[in-house]
Structure 1
C-alpha cells in the first residue's frame, strides 16, 4: 500500500476558468487590491470554510496577465500544519529565482534557516513581488523585507484570527469568500454535469434529484464541481 499523502488542494489548482461561475467579482476585487494601493508591503487574506474555492479563486488571480505584468517575480507556496520552515523557504527561493530566470543559488540545500532567510530578504529587497501562501499558518511576516516596491502577500486560510493577525497596516485587506448563491450553484452544476450554460439543460426527470444534490452542497464550489464532474460520465436517461 502506498503511504503517499494526496493533497486535495491540488485539484483546486486545475479547475478551468471556463468551468466556473461567480468568480468575476471576487477576482476583479482581488486583482485591484494586488496591483493598486499603497507602495508598502501589504497582505491580502482570503478567508472562508473549506470547499468554498479559496485556492481556485486565488490561482485565477495569480495567473492573471494583469497581475503578472505588475510584478517582477512571484511564488506560490502551499502550507500545511506540519510544514518544515527550511523546506518552505527553499521552495520560495527556487520559485522566485526561476520566475526571474536567475540561476538557483549554489548550496541552497545545505543552508541553515537563518542563511535561507537572509538570502530571501536580500534577493527581494529591491523587487516588486507577489507571494501566495495557500492554507497558511502565519509565520512569514518577519521573513520578508519591509520595502516600498508595491509587493504583495496573498494568504488563504479557514481561520478568521489568522486573517486578522496578518493585517498590520492600513493597506491590508481581508476578503470573506461566501458560498455560491442557489442560482449560481445550479449554473455551475449544469456546466459540469451537462456541459451546458443553459439552466434548462437538465432532463426534466432528473431535475428534482439533481436539485436535491446541489442543495446538499450548500454552495461549496469544490463540492459542486466534484458532483457535476462525477455525474457528467453517468447515464442520464430516466
Structure 2
C-alpha cells in the first residue's frame, strides 16, 4: 500500500503539477502581465538610480566599472523585451467577447513568456546592488612627448639601449643614471618609461620626483596615484605599508625615482627592493654617482653633455629656420656653444630666440655671456649650488621682452 501511495505521489508530481502550471498561464493571464508591468517599473527606477550615480562619478573623473556597464546593458535588453511583449498585437485575440472565442494557444504563449520575463527582470534587479559604480583610474604621468631632436642624438640612443638592456636583465633589480643638472636625465627617464610600456616589459611603470628636499608623503602619493591607490589621512609608516602591499600585487613593475640627492629610505617609502619583490625594478637618477652607490645600484650609467655636433643639431632643430639666415648663423653658433651641451639650456635659449630678428640675437649673446659668467662664478664658489633650473630661470629673465 505504501508503495502504491509513493508511486501515486510521483505520478501527481510529474503530471498534475505541470498541468496545473500550464492552466495557470491561461487563468492568470492578466495578473501575469500586471506583475510584469510592476516589475519593469521597479527595474526602471533601479536603472535610473544607478545611471545617476554613474553620471555623478563621471563628473568627478571616475571610470565606470565594467560589471556596472554590463548590468545597465542587460537592464536595457530586459526592459526592451518586456515592452515588446506588452505591445504584442496578439493581445487583441486572447480576450473573451460576444463575437469571438479567445485564442487559447496565443493566450497561453503570451502569459508563459510574461512569467519568464518577470523572473528575468527580478533576477537582474537583484544583481544591481553595487556598493560602488566607478573607480578613479590610475594616473599616467609619464610624458608622451620627448624632444624631437633627442631621437637623432647618437649619444642618447646608446645610453638608452644600455639602460633597457639592464632593465631586461633578470639579475639586475636596481639601475642608476647620473650626470650634471640639466643634462637631460628626466627627459631620458620619460623616454625609457615609454619604451618599457611600448614593449610591455612591465605590468606597471611609474615615475616620482624626489628632489633635493624630499617630502616622503608627496613621493608616496605620487606613486600611489599612478597605481590607483588612494590614501586616507595616515602616517608615513601606514602609507608605506599600504603602498608596499599594493606594489607587491603587481607581477612586474618599474619604479623610476628621479633626482635623488641623498640616500633614500626605500623601506619607509614603501618600495620593496632586492629579493623582497624580484619583479620590482628601480631606476634612479642623481647628479652624483656616490649617491647611487649608497643606494646599492647594480648597474650605473653616466649621461654626458652633448658633443659639439649634437649640441648644434639640437639647437638648430629647436630655434627654427632663422638660424640659417646668413646674418644670424654666426651669432647662433656662438650662442649654442654657450649652452655647453646641456639640453635644458639649449631648449630654454633656442625657444626664446626662435624666429627673432638679428638685433635680438646679438643682444641675447651679450646678455648670455654676462649671465653665464655670473652663474659660473656662483657655481665655482659653491659646487652645484646653482641648479640648472635656476640657470633656466635666469636665462628667461635675460631674454625677457624679446
Classify the TM-score, shorter chain. Answer: 0.7 to 0.9
Contact 1:192 1:232 in 2 (8 A): yes
Q: For residue 174 of structure 1, give the secondary structure of its aligned residue in structure 2.
A: strand
In the alignment, the residues of structure 2 paired with residue 124 and residue 50 of structure 1 have an alpha-carbon distance, to the nearest angstrom, of 30
CA shift, 1:87, in A, is: 2.6
- Gaps in structure 2 of 5+ consecutive residues: 1-142, 362-402
Correspondence for 2:215: 84
In the alignment, the residues of structure 1 paired with residue 144 and residue 183 of structure 2 have an alpha-carbon distance, to the nearest angstrom, of 15
| Among 331, 334, 340, the residue aligned to 1:212 | 334
CA shift, 1:236, in A, is: 5.2
Correspondence for 1:141: 266
Q: For residue 190 of structure 2, give the secondary structure of its aligned residue in structure 1.
A: helix
Deviations 1:78-98 (A, max 9, x none): 11233321232122122123x
| Among 195, 201, 207, the residue aligned to 1:70 | 201
Correspondence for 1:175: 301
In the alignment, the residues of structure 1 paired with residue 144 and residue 338 of structure 2 have an alpha-carbon distance, to the nearest angstrom, of 24
Q: Indicate the structure (1 or 2) with the bigger Cα radius of gyration.
A: 2
Contact 1:74 1:96 in 2 (8 A): no
In the alignment, the residues of structure 2 paired with residue 14 and residue 125 of structure 1 have an alpha-carbon distance, to the nearest angstrom, of 26
Runs (4+) of structure 1 exceeding 6 A deviation are: none
2:33 pairs with 1:33: no
Work out the number of aligned pairs and report it: 208
CA shift, 1:174, in A, is: 0.8
Contact 1:79 1:134 in 2 (8 A): yes
Moved more, 158-167 or 175-184: 158-167
Correspondence for 2:256: 132
CA shift, 1:66, in A, is: 5.0
Higher RCO (CA 8 Å, separation ≥ 6 residues): 1
Matches within 5 A, 1:1-238: 16-20=146-150, 21-22=152-153, 23-34=156-167, 36-39=168-171, 42-64=173-195, 66=197, 69-97=200-228, 104-105=229-230, 108-127=231-250, 128-136=252-260, 137-142=262-267, 143-145=270-272, 146-149=276-279, 151-167=280-296, 172-194=298-320, 202-235=324-357
Moved more, 53-62 or 67-76: 67-76
- Gaps in structure 1 of 5+ consecutive residues: 1-12, 98-103
- From the superposition, tell whether residues 187 and 71 of structure 1 become closer, same or farther in structure 2 (CA, over 3 Å): same
CA shift, 1:124, in A, is: 1.8
- From the superposition, tell whether residues 56 and 76 of structure 1 become closer, same or farther in structure 2 (CA, over 3 Å): same
CA shift, 1:121, in A, is: 1.6
CA shift, 1:160, in A, is: 1.9
Q: For residue 82 of structure 1, give the secondary structure of its aligned residue in structure 2.
A: coil
Structure holding more helix per residue = 2
Q: For residue 61 of structure 1, give the secondary structure of its aligned residue in structure 2.
A: helix
In the alignment, the residues of structure 2 paired with residue 126 and residue 27 of structure 1 have an alpha-carbon distance, to the nearest angstrom, of 28
Q: For residue 132 of structure 1, give the secondary structure of its aligned residue in structure 2.
A: strand
Contact 1:15 1:56 in 2 (8 A): no
In the alignment, the residues of structure 2 paired with residue 124 and residue 39 of structure 1 have an alpha-carbon distance, to the nearest angstrom, of 19
* Length-normalised TM-score, structure 1: 0.77
Deviations 1:121-140 (A, max 9, x none): 21222421111111124314
* Length-normalised TM-score, structure 2: 0.48
